[in-house]
Amino acid sequence: MPDAETPLRLPVVLIGPMGSGKSRVGKQLAKRLGVRFIDTDNVVSAEHGPIAAIFDEHGEPHFRALERAAVVAALAEPAIVSLGGGAVLDTDTQADLLAVRVVLLTVTEEAVLARANLDKRPLLRDDPGAWARIATARRPIYERLADVDFDTSHRPISGIVDELVAWVKEPA
């Protein structure tokens, strides 16, 4: 549970490329801090069906609109929030993230392709090489929005979570 003497500044938002570990890190971080975890991709899936099906049936713009609504709702909560890799493309989301604490999780292409389920990743399913192009294109946005960053390629998630707990609990 959060220390009553040091109120947590929430939400804390995790951003980064597909497969960087935002959900895994976010779940563990939220558990350690005793707060809610919200994964905006899971919110969209729960309300509208699998993301791959949304892309296939309605296209990326429709998915991005659903994603934006999930982001707005999540940022209103005192929680650890994981955003889908492309959520930061929305300029309104970028503006919203300037008012909260943002953690960038990075990962190498080799590490992400070794652990990613490409069938669940519409932008990579037909072109696994797209990961590097997408990550490179989004990197400047991620870096501009982030307050702190961690590479998840080869480090144990527990160590990253330990460091994030300390960072989140730092006084304002």
Q: Give the mean model confidence (pLDDT) for residues 60-79.
A: 97
Q: Where are the alpha helices (DSSP H) in the chain?
A: 22-33, 40-48, 51-58, 60-75, 91-97, 109-115, 122-125, 130-145, 157-169
CA of residue 120 relative to chain centroid, distance: 16
Under the banding of pLDDT at 50, 70 and 90, the label for residue 127 is confident
Torsion of the alpha carbons at 121, 122, 127 and 133, rounded to the nearest 10 = -80
Instruction: Pick the closest to residue 116 from 104, 103, 130, 102 (CA basis).
Output: 130
DSSP state of 49: -
Confidence of residue 123 (pLDDT cuts 50, 70, 90): low
- pLDDT tens per residue across span 91-114: 999 999 999 999 999 999 888 877
Higher-confidence residue of 130 and 64: namely 64
What is the percent of the chain where pLDDT is above 90? 74
CA distance linking residue 3 with residue 127, whole number of Å: 46
Domains of the chain: 12-163 (3.40.50.300)
pTM for this entry = 0.90
Q: What is the mean pLDDT of the chain?
A: 90
Structure-token pair, residue 151: 């590479």
